[in-house]
Amino acid sequence: MASEHTLELTDGNFEEEVVRAETPALVDFWAEWCMPCKMQGPTIEELAAEYKGTLKVGKVDTDSNREISMRFGISAIPTLILFKNGEVIKKFVGLQQKSDLKAAIDEAIG
């Protein structure tokens, strides 16, 4: 679920919001019923707030957006993908530590 600092990404807006984004983008592939996804949520929110203006952060509900989930081979959730210039530069599967995500983001922004 999107919030103040995160975008709700769909099959319809993914191309515009992520692939053509001028800044790197962190995309959280999740589902409402997924407990690890819910546990990952606060970290995603914190990162979105911390990197506001330099990183686009969005969430894809895999149940509602099968096309984009299949396009990126999402077979387990949560999966977090970091994009830069429309290309996948890092993919994280499963619950992640904030420090690991920050390191990848800092490298993408730098």
Query: Is 1 a residue of the active site?
Result: no
From 34, 41, 45, 46, the catalytic residue = 34
From 18, 37, 47, 74, the catalytic residue = 37
Which residue(s) pair with 87 in the sheet? 84
Query: Is 65 a residue of the active site?
Result: no
Residue 110 CA to residue 108 CA, distance in Å, equals: 6
Distances (CA, A) of 110 to 14, 33, 70, 77, 103: 24, 35, 30, 28, 10
- Positions annotated as catalytic residues are 34, 37
